[in-house]
Amino acid sequence: MRGYVLLIGVAFGWGFNWPLMKIIVSEVSVWEFRALSGIAAGLLLLGLAVAVGGRSGEAWRAPRDQWLPLGLAALFNVTSWFIFIGYGVSMMGAGHAVIMAFTMPLFAAVFGVIYLREAMTRRRLLALSLGAAGIAVLMSHDFAAIGAEPLGFALTLIGAAMWAIGVLIQKHTPWQVGVLALSGWQILLGSMPIVAVWLALGEFSYGRAGAEVWWSSAYLVLVALVFCYFAWFSVVKIFPASISAVGTLLVPIVGVASGVVVLGEPFGLRDLIALTLIVGAVALVLLVPPGEPVAGRRAPGPR
């Protein structure tokens, strides 16, 4: 139940983030935006980890032998995702960018079966099929835009694949730090290369940005990064990769809806059909019939 609640929190937290991210990158460079928000979120998460660890005894310092997997996870979960998706959303509509980005569940589910030996049951296969159909219908809105902005499409798709690899690393590593610390270290480490590039470019535009950009940035740091990364890593720890991945198909629903409300992006019959398919996929994953094994046991990884 805790996993399901966190999964819903991730869906709304990350979904509403997409139109706000579009607002930010319209006035601030991707490198500056990602560098400052990543450092702020990483430090906040580590501060919370130290405070919580002091009361619960949960470790926040990563052992020396875990720095390599921690760095790899940060590279795929944070560095590549931040930059590829940042540029992708700057080149496409927010609602359509979130749909492209969340092809990640398809990569993650397949990778999970191949590398983590998770069972691909008929229920999960049907859920993935429905999710893929919903994403394909939504993508059909942007076929003309894909032709006009092939780089934006390609970068967003690469970001999705990189995040799927990060999910595998996350699942396969027996972490010896708490979830808060794990989230903080990954965001902080993953933001370091971005900070280096930003400083080299010398782009400083937040000082000229409007109030809307500042409020959007505050939401992104506190909700989309601090809360949602903590919740997402908790979900990945609780559920197999395919379940956590398909569950996040809720994010495009919220992303498209918030794009309509916040940015006035169009919503038509095609969007409705696609969202119905995605809701069906999520229902197949979350509503487990009596007698069926609960998707929470970690499948053995490769040795």
What does the pLDDT read at residue 302? 29
Q: In the 8-state DSSP scheme, what is residue 118? A: -
What does the pLDDT read at residue 145? 52
Rounded Cα gap, residues 2 and 21, in angstroms: 28
What does the pLDDT read at residue 297? 38
Q: Spell out, as residue ranges, where the chain has pLDDT lower than 70.
A: 54-57, 105, 138-139, 141-149, 241-249, 282, 285-303
What does the pLDDT read at residue 290? 46
Number of CB atoms found within 10 A of residue 57's CB: 8
For residues 272 and 50, the answer to whether their CB atoms sit within 8 Å is no
This prediction has a pTM of 0.80
What does the pLDDT read at residue 293? 47
The share of the chain scoring above pLDDT 90, in percent, equals 29
3-class secondary structure, 62:
coil
47-77 pLDDT, tens digit each: 988 887 766 667 788 888 899 999 999 999 9
What does the pLDDT read at residue 49? 87
Write 260-267 long-range contacts (CB < 8 A, 24+): 260/95, 261/19, 262/19, 262/20, 262/23, 262/94, 263/19, 263/22, 263/23, 263/93, 263/94, 263/95, 265/19, 265/93, 265/94, 265/95
What does the pLDDT read at residue 43? 95
What does the pLDDT read at residue 79? 96
Rounded Cα gap, residues 18 and 234, in angstroms: 22
Residue 95 corresponds to which tokens in the numbers above?
């609602």
Residue 54 corresponds to which tokens in the numbers above?
């002091």
Rounded Cα gap, residues 85 and 76, in angstroms: 12
What does the pLDDT read at residue 300? 31
What does the pLDDT read at residue 286? 57
Rounded Cα gap, residues 25 and 270, in angstroms: 28
